[in-house]
Amino acid sequence: MVSVAVSACVALVACACGPEKTKEDTDAKPSKPSASTPAEPSAMPSASARTEKPSVTPTGDQPAPRTTEGAIQRYEQYLHALGREDIDTVCEVAGPAAKKAQDQGFGPCTSTYVAVFQMISPAQKNALRTATVDPQRIVVRTPEKVEMPVEAVRASATFSESDLGSYTLEYLKNDWYITD
């Protein structure tokens, strides 16, 4: 039952965030140095906490790679952020889909994903932090549109359509975003 609720919230939240604000915010703010600043406890991350992002995020004016590998890296960034409860990264990557959900009456990404985080088990969160994507299981629709079925996610925990779901990533505004 919880997995159904998580899937519903993830799907709905994936439709409610916009990349406009968080993308610019993250480009303008420096990353936290990992050695010189005390890290927040991973079990209780703050919704406003910024975390260092993987190098797949474009810096400055450089666009992300418009390749299947670029889409995979971006989706893995989303999965890892979901496991870390990194609301900023989750809402950035899921921006266009999250915006659609918000337009349909669901709350903003930041509040909706807080509920989603609570529905994901600790074992699943740990698995998401290191999850990878099997490139053989994704579906490339066009050079700008890639489908990531749940079966492509490789993790130490098993995920189904009802507790993680499948996503479509599209190349928009020089980066890959979850659009569906």
Assigned token pair, 151? 């079966």
**pLDDT confidence bin for 153, thresholds 50/70/90:** very high
Distance CA 22, CA 42 (A): 21
The reported pLDDT for the residue numbered 163 is 83
Query: What is the span of the domain harbouring residue 166?
Result: 2-28+62-178
Amino acid type, 123: A
- Which tens digits make up the pLDDT trace of 73-123? 999 999 999 999 999 999 999 999 989 988 998 889 998 888 888 888 999
Residue 172 counted as domain residue: yes
Residue 69 counted as domain residue: yes
The domain total for the chain is 1
What's the rounded mean pLDDT across residues 15-28? 39
Nearest C-alpha neighbor of 131 from the set 85, 67, 75, 90: 75
Residue 47 counted as domain residue: no
Distance CA 76, CA 55 (A): 12
The contacts found for 7-12 with CB under 8 angstroms, 24 or more apart, are 7/161, 7/162, 7/163, 7/164, 7/165, 9/112, 9/113, 9/115, 9/116, 9/119, 10/116, 10/164, 10/165, 11/101, 11/165, 12/101, 12/106, 12/112
Residue 37 counted as domain residue: no
Residue 77 counted as domain residue: yes
The reported pLDDT for the residue numbered 162 is 83
Strand-pair category, 145-148 with 153-154: unpaired
Distance CA 165, CA 94 (A): 13
- Which tens digits make up the pLDDT trace of 120-143? 899 999 999 999 999 999 999 999
The reported pLDDT for the residue numbered 112 is 85
Residue 153 counted as domain residue: yes
Residue 43 counted as domain residue: no
The reported pLDDT for the residue numbered 61 is 63
Q: Is the whole model's pTM more than 0.75, yes or no?
A: no
Residue 50 counted as domain residue: no
